[in-house]
Amino acid sequence: MNPAAPILLFDSGVGGLTVLAEVRKLLPQAPVIYAADTAGLPYGTKTEAEIAARVAGLLGVLSERYRPRLATIACNTASTIALGMVRDVLRIPIVGTVPAIKPAAALTRTGTIGLLGTEATIRQGYVDRLEAEHAGGTRLIRHAAPALVAAAEARLRGAPADPAVFAEAARGLRAQPGGADIDTVVLACTHFPLVADDLAAAMGPGVRFVDGAAGIARRIASLTAGQDFARGGPDLALTTGDLAEFALLQPVLGAHGLDRIEAI
């Protein structure tokens, strides 16, 4: 293994930075490439076929160009739809991101869990299987909150977020049968932890939020255990969208150790 071979993190936008932050804690010496498919954002409103083709195609190009040692799909929507296809195509380890239903089921005291995700994520059979396997005996209440993705992206650009967006997400959970009993909420989109404080205020006291970022970082650390790391240059952030617009995120990207910005 080339010590300079990077860990590749892929997301539709900047939500995957929540995963990168956890990776940095465990593997601060690891070279990283962060790829944001901002031209394809948002994924949650696309069809499964569109998402699968787009993610597999982009990861194939990135793998060929940058020769990563491992790739992480730091996006719940892309993982629940395209993970199997990507693993069939690429010859490197692929780490996916799935809703943190199992830890949420262990935490809840009321037995009622909320799940916030994109429209594409919450309708996946994969989520049904996670619920059946890990949340037996609990109630899982799902709500699609696609506006939270735009709110998180805006927040990182320094733009104000509309409080109504968070109020609607909370109302979408609470208004469903049993919603008043929710004490644990799964943030089933890597963007959503970026606005967790706003969601906490909207949900009210006594609600815990769970996401999968720390677990993903532990999995990456396990798969790269014993490997040598050496940076050949500054870590890189890539975008499929407008480079000038993406460069507005330089302060945030730099804070995550991504000191170079380029277009894919």
The residues annotated as belonging to the active site are 75, 189
Give backbone dihedrals phi and psi of 99, rounded to 5 degrees, phi first: -55, 135
- Output the CA torsion 94→95→96→98 (10° steps): 160
- Is residue 10 within 8 Å of residue 220, measured between CB atoms? no
3 state SS of 138:
coil
- Is residue 122 within 8 Å of residue 143, measured between CB atoms? yes
Q: Do strands 94-95 and 70-73 pair parallel, antiparallel, or not at all (unpaired)?
A: parallel
Alpha helices in 92-212 (DSSP H): 101-107, 119-122, 125-134, 147-156, 163-174, 196-203
**Listed residue (149, 219, 207, 150) closest to 180, CA to CA:** 207
Give backbone dihedrals phi and psi of 8, rounded to 5 degrees, phi first: -100, 125
With a CB cutoff of 8 Å and minimum separation 6, the contacts of 192 are 15, 116, 145, 148, 152, 199, 211
Cα gap 139→142, rounded to integer Å: 10
- Is residue 221 within 8 Å of residue 26, measured between CB atoms? yes
